[in-house]
A = this chain, B = another copy of it.
């Protein structure tokens, strides 16, 4: 699946903390500016290493980029997607999914920024293997969102597929709104918790309108 990564193995034998620092700062730099406009000079400055080292570990800017994609995808798979969620109540499932996503974005902002930038802005310059892999992850997540939902909770006078999509859009719209309100402020844990509790009240209303009366 993956062609051998052109990385100098000595990179893996340096202190973990240093590896992390280099990877994180590189991912931030790429994530914020896209591949072309990201600067290797900025990366070494941010990571506090000499320029020689970066090109000693990774032969070129592009090799570094590909290594980071590989690393990020593995990490996302392990830390974020490898749970199976079984909550049958669709609205509750969406809540769990959103919660997982936010927790991950807080814990690993560099991964979130990086991989989304790769997919949105630069997906055409990366090896096709990784293109496929990213699309696969997205599809898997989408499927697991709708798998084994208890559809009997929904009221029967509406099209179930409409209901699922409408509720899904509502969640997405709410989250986009939170992001807009959070812009500028740092995404601290506290902030999100606040919005979280706020939205809980809305979920009750959402259930009231989309679910059967006795499903409360």
On whether the beta carbons of A166 and B208 are closer than 8 Å, the reply is: no
Residue from A155, A202, A205 with most neighbouring chain B CB atoms (10 Å): A205
What is the 8 Å Cβ interface bit string for chain A, positions 164-177, against chain B (1 contact, 0 not)?
Answer: 01101111111011
The CA-CA distance from A190 to B9 in the complex, in Å, is 53
On whether the beta carbons of A162 and B37 are closer than 8 Å, the reply is: no
A138 CB, min distance to chain B CBs, angstroms? 11
On whether the beta carbons of B202 and A166 are closer than 8 Å, the reply is: yes
On whether the beta carbons of B162 and A201 are closer than 8 Å, the reply is: yes
The CA-CA distance from A13 to B157 in the complex, in Å, is 63
Q: Is A206 an interface residue (CB 8 A)?
A: yes
Copies of this chain: 2
Given that A170-B173, A173-B173, A176-B172 are known contacts, is A165 also in contact with B208, CB under 8 Å in the complex? no
On whether the beta carbons of A205 and B169 are closer than 8 Å, the reply is: no
A162's partner among B158, B163, B205 (CB-CB below 8 A) is: B205
A159 cross-chain contacts in B, Cβ below 8 A: 205
A203 CB, min distance to chain B CBs, angstroms? 10
Q: Is A209 an interface residue (CB 8 A)?
A: yes
A151 CB, min distance to chain B CBs, angstroms? 15
Measuring CB to CB, which residues of chain A are less than 8 angstroms from any residue of chain B? 37, 155, 157-159, 162-163, 165-166, 168-174, 176-177, 201-202, 205-206, 208-210
Give the top 5 A-B pairs by smallest Cβ distance, nearest first: A169-B173, A173-B173, A172-B173, A209-B209, A162-B205
Q: What are 8 A-B residue pairs whose CB atoms fall within 8 Å in the complex? A: A158-B208, A158-B209, A166-B170, A166-B206, A169-B171, A170-B170, A172-B177, A173-B176
